[in-house]
Amino acid sequence: MNGALDIGTARWAHPLLAPSRYKGASGGRASGKSHFFAECAVEAMVMDPSLRFVCIREVQRSLKFSAKSLIESKINSLGVAHLFDVLTSEIRRKGGTGVCIFEGMQDHTADSLKSLEGFGIAWVEEAHSISQKSIDLLLPTIRAPGSEIWFSWNPDQPTDPVDVFFNDDLEGAVRVHTTYSDNPFCPEVMEVEANRLRRSNPDAYEHIWEGGYFYGGQGRVYSRFINKPAPVGNIDESVRDTGAELLVGMDFNVNPMSCVIGVRVADECHILDALEVESSNTEEVTAELLRRYPGRSIIVCPDPSGRARKSSAPVGQTDFTILQRAGFDVRAPHKAPLIVDRENNAQEMYEHEGRRRVRIHPDAKPLITGLSNLVYKEQTGQRDKKSGFDHICDAMDYLLWEEFRVLDTSQAPSVTTVYQ
């Protein structure tokens, strides 16, 4: 029996079925990542009796914590137990030289890892724990013609080596992100648990079940923003420029200057793009907006401090007057809203009672990154500004506060002035 097995494959995993040098599956609990790769491992060894396969973790203290038991269960459930010898420390393919072994990278040096040079597939489990050193050692070791390296992990930090690895526009790489809601085989009890946590602790839900990054005791500022396709999340590829007035939120920080560009669709804000320009000023960003959107009617909702502030503006000009002279309508409150009010207003727009009134096109990457990663300083209610994610988020806040205010604030309402 050397043919492909009849295995039901979830839609999210289809991109991983074609040959690729690097395959990555990230996501939350009960998404089916490990089950998919375990089935692929069994099928690969059935089809090629000589295949040498290695399952890798950064630390492998005991086989009971490895994928061995999962692969064994797949061998049995797929009805191919007669093709394998399951031994204490490895699984051997009958009728060939194929073998599946289980290794910990911390147990290896560059020299000892040479024993894996003839292996055709390496599966890195719990890849969020893999070190950069281990990746650097592993990649040139698994080098047989047509060889593949698979990674599966629950994301932890955006700076983890495996995330950096797959975010580098890697040639020959395919990565998918999946959750329990994408898994047609997810038990109902798991869905119940996910929904319970979503109601009680949105940040924990985002990390555990949606596969978002973990922020410890800090907490995401925009916890209701979900970096998932609509209707579950706020990302929507169907967002289009309707030709209506453009709404631009703007933060005047010089490094970077940040803009969020959107349109109004009924009572929703549809974000088309986001712009960050390093070491810039208001004149340069104004010129860029005019270049990108010639002849368009543009309303700018900026940081109210621009009424008096000059971000390297010519003498006698403020940020507001620069925008005004470019033909933009400038709308901002006389008094800057409290940061907490801006944040809460945005939270209500991102999700309220199951409805999401902000839809963001995937092209607005700086905004998506900022909303996903801006956190509070640990044990404080203050934003962690060291990350630099706050500026693009501020730009979004100003737009939502001015044009889509849904929050009832305790402070007296600020008066909006239109500069024309």
- The torsion defined by the Cα of 401, 405, 409 and 413, in degrees rounded to 10, comes to 80
Each residue of 239-266: pLDDT tens digit?
999 999 999 999 998 788 999 999 999 9
**CA proximity to 403, closest of 339, 307, 322, 332:** 332
CA distances from 246 to 106, 269, 323, 330, 396 (A): 54, 11, 14, 12, 14
At 73, give phi and psi (nearest 5°).
-65, -35
Lowest average pLDDT, out of 182-186, 193-197, 310-314, goes to 310-314
Per-residue pLDDT averaged across 194-213, rounded? 83
Is the CATH number 3.10.129.10 carried by domain 11-182? Answer: no
pTM of the model: 0.61
Per-residue pLDDT averaged across 108-134, rounded? 93
- Percent of the chain surpassing pLDDT 70: 91
Give residue limits of the domains in the chain.
Answer: 11-182, 246-419
Per-residue pLDDT averaged across 344-364, rounded? 90
Per-residue pLDDT averaged across 223-238, rounded? 83
Place of tokens 């203050």: 382
Identify the band that residue 412 occupies on the pLDDT scale cut at 50, 70 and 90: very low
Distance of CA 129 to the CA centre of its chain: 18
Instruction: Please report the pLDDT score of residue 308 as a whole number.
Output: 75
Fold agreement between 11-182 and 246-419: no
Per-residue pLDDT averaged across 338-364, rounded? 89
Q: What DSSP assignment string belongs to 118-178? A: T-SEEEESSGGG--HHHHHHHHHHS-STT-EEEEEE----TTSHHHHHHTS--TTEEEEEE
| Neighbour count for residue 244 (Cβ, 10 Å) | 13
- In terms of C-beta density within 10 A (0-12 exposed, 13-18 middle, 19 or more buried), how is residue 332 classed? buried
Please determine, for residue 179, whether its predicted confidence score (pLDDT) is greater than 80.
yes
Each residue of 112-122: pLDDT tens digit?
899 999 999 99
The rounded mean pLDDT for the chain is 88
Instruction: Please report the pLDDT score of residue 312 as a whole number.
Output: 54
Each residue of 374-405: pLDDT tens digit?
888 766 667 888 888 999 999 999 999 999 99
Instruction: Please report the pLDDT score of residue 420 as a whole number.
Output: 36
- The torsion defined by the Cα of 66, 67, 70 and 75, in degrees rounded to 10, comes to -130
Each residue of 138-177: pLDDT tens digit?
999 999 999 999 999 999 888 889 999 998 778 899 999 9
The count of C-alpha atoms lying within 13 angstroms of the C-alpha of 134, restricted to the half-sphere facing its C-beta, is 23
Q: What angle do CA 268, 269, 273 make, to 5 degrees?
A: 150
Instruction: Please report the pLDDT score of residue 415 as a whole number.
Output: 37
**CA proximity to 124, closest of 103, 145, 143, 100:** 103
Residue 101: CB partners within 8 Å, gap ≥ 6? 53, 54, 55, 89, 90
DSSP designation for 83: G
Each residue of 39-61: pLDDT tens digit?
999 999 999 999 999 999 998 76
Instruction: Please report the pLDDT score of residue 419 as a whole number.
Output: 38
Report how far residue 151's alpha carbon sits from residue 128's, in angstroms, rounded to the nearest whole number.
Answer: 9
Instruction: Please report the pLDDT score of residue 217 as a whole number.
Output: 53
Could you tell me where the DSSP H helices lie in 211-297? 282-292
Cβ burial 381-396 (10 Å sphere, 16+ → b, else e): eebbeeebbbbbbbbb
Question: Which CATH number is 246-419's, of 3.30.70.2660, 3.30.420.280, 3.20.20.210, 3.30.70.20?
Answer: 3.30.420.280
